[in-house]
Amino acid sequence: MECQPNEITQPGVTKRLRRLRTTPMIRALVRENDVQLSDLIYPIFVEETITSPVPIPGLPGLSRIPENLLADEIHALNALGICYVMPFGISHNKDDTGSDTWQRDGLLSRMIRTIKSACPHMMVIPDICFCEYTTHGHCGIMADQDVDNDQTVAHLVKQCVNAAQAGADMLAPSSMMDGQVEAIRKGLDSAGFEYVAILAHSAKLASAFYGPFRQAVECELKGDRRTYQLDYANARQALSEAMLDEQEGADILMVKPGTPYLDILTQLRGQTLLPLAAYQVSGEYAAIKCAANMGILDEQEAVLETLIGFKRAGADLIVTYFAKQFAIWNQTTPSTMTTTE
Ligand code: PBG
């Protein structure tokens, strides 16, 4: 029998994937993901009683904004094109329960009102938690050395209704209590805030990357948050948390921190049709910023790479301390944000 030429040994056509990388234009044409300023939420730290900005040592380039300068800062952010802010309060009225958060004239509602009156179209998405407002620094009310889930949830609902009354557009509950999203949704609806959305910190992992944040908000935490935040070794549990939040009425599901948990984001993308968010937390910011300040990383390139990484992994939106810097880069060199050379 005559021997047939084996196809594998035939000279074939060389696969030239480099063909689509030859020029900036062709690379732009086939680019799969991009990031825009309208994808980014900017977290800000607002402190009562101080009168000038206080730089945050662990977050180089960022400061605590004095409450009396908040409106000016909002005007400046608006001028840069930033449309979404996530205010964190640095309270001088802490107590055991964090009761300042549900007072009509407490720091949380004052921040929201100030932002909305400075710039009515700026979307305000406050973090909803207690750790910045409690003397013990935990994310809820304590009972027997641990956070009491159901009492904390009842207080979270009061905090949310108060924030909605002050004008918040969307709420970002982050205390990782069981049943918090359902209770908050019901509380908002029965108070007439059916259109205030919930950006759920669904998969919030107990992370060392929150370190600079805790310094920034002067959270005097003794111990850790491992009885309520997720164990970072557990991806399936993270997905369960997120699926429950969806059933409970969350509008957007968030994974936090970002960079070490891209696998969870990607798996979640395959499980839900809701929009997904990633939170690039304080330690991720600090790591890039410190390396850039030492001249060992190109900040703009590194930041863009992480943000696009979140998008590629499945995020629609990103909470990042780099948002203001991104807006400034975008104004000076808009093309670098879309087409890298
Ligand atoms: C409060 C809260 C934390 C962060 C956001 N909301 C801290 C924590 O859980 O200890 C961290 C954000 C960051 O590190 O940038 N529940």
| Interval between CA 212 and ligand 1 midpoint (Å) | 9
Strand 54-55 to 63-66 pairing? antiparallel
Q: Can you give the pLDDT at residue 275? A: 98
How confident is residue 8, by pLDDT bands cut at 50, 70 and 90? Answer: low
Measured from the CA of 283, which atom of ligand 1 is nearest? 14
Ligand 1 geometric centre to CA of 213 (Å)? 6
Res 4: pLDDT = 60
Among 256, 289, 311, 324, the one annotated catalytic: 256
CA 210 – ligand 1 centroid, Å: 6
The Cα 72–Cα 232 span in angstroms is: 39
Determine which residue's CA is closest to atom 7 belonging to ligand 1. 210
Q: What is the pLDDT of residue 336?
A: 46
Residue 215 confidence (pLDDT) = 86
**Residue 317 pLDDT:** 98
What integer pLDDT is reported at residue 265 of this predicted model? 98
Long-range contact pairs involving 313-316 (C-beta distance under 8 Å, separation at least 24): 313/262, 313/265, 313/266, 313/269, 313/278, 314/265, 314/266, 314/268, 314/269, 314/276, 315/255, 315/258, 315/265, 315/276, 315/277, 315/278, 316/39, 316/252, 316/275, 316/276, 316/277
Alpha carbon of 193 to ligand 1 centroid (Å): 26
Torsion of CA 159, 163, 164, 170, to 10 degrees: -100
Residue owning the nearest CA to atom 11 of ligand 1: 210
Please determine, for residue 175, whether its predicted confidence score (pLDDT) is greater than 50: yes
pLDDT of res. 219: 84
Task: Write the CA distances from 96 to 5, 140, 194, 272, integer angstroms.
Answer: 82, 9, 30, 37
Tell me the whole-structure pTM to 2 decimals: 0.94
The angle subtended at Cα 123 by Cα 121 and Cα 124, nearest 5°, is 130
Q: What are the structure tokens assigned to 18, written together?
A: 């480099």
pLDDT digits (tens, 9 = 90+) for 260-271: 999 999 999 999
pLDDT of residue 217: 87
Q: Which atom of ligand 1 is nearest to the CA of 129?
A: 16
Q: What would the mean pLDDT of 207-215 be, rounded to a whole number?
A: 94
Residue 6 confidence class, pLDDT cut points 50, 70, 90? low
Ligand 1 center–CA 32 separation, angstroms:
31
Give the mutation target among 131, 261, 288 for probing the ligand 1 site: most ligand atoms within 8 A of CB. Answer: 131
Beta-bridge partner residues of 255: 203, 278
> How does the average pLDDT of the chain come out, rounded?
94
For residues 229 and 339, the model is more confident at 229
**Atom number of ligand 1 nearest to Cα 209:** 14
Work out the pLDDT band at 10, boundaries 50, 70, 90. Answer: low
Nearest CA-CA partner of 201 in 41, 28, 48: 41
Q: Both tokens of residue 206?
A: 């107990």
CB distance 230 to 163 below 8 Å: no
* Fold that domain 33-333 belongs to in CATH: TIM Barrel (3.20.20)
Catalytic residue status for 204: yes
Nearest alpha-carbon partner for 288 in 278, 279, 301:
301
Share of the chain above pLDDT 90, in %: 90
Q: Both tokens of residue 222?
A: 């003794």
Higher pLDDT, 221 or 72: 72
Annotated active-site residue in 94, 204, 311, 324: 204
With 90 as the cut, is the pLDDT of residue 221 above it? no
pLDDT at 12 over 90: no
Helices (H) and strands (E) in the chain, counts: 12, 13
Q: Is the pLDDT of residue 307 over 70?
A: yes
The residue whose C-alpha atom lies closest to atom 9 belonging to ligand 1 is 210
Average pLDDT over residues 116-125: 98
Catalytic residue list contains 256: yes
Q: How confident is the model at residue 250 (pLDDT cuts 50, 70, 90)?
A: very high
Q: Give mean pLDDT, residues 132-147.
A: 94
Give residue ranges with CB within 6 A of ligand 1: 127, 129, 131, 139, 174-175, 210, 213-214, 225, 281-282
- Predicted local distance difference test score (pLDDT) of residue 218: 83
**317-320 and 252-256 as β-strands: parallel, antiparallel, unpaired?**
unpaired
Cα–Cα dist 273/257, whole Å: 21
Question: Of ligand 1's atoms, which has the minimum distance to the CA of residue 279?
Answer: 15
Separation between Cα atoms, residue 274 and residue 208, nearest integer Å: 28
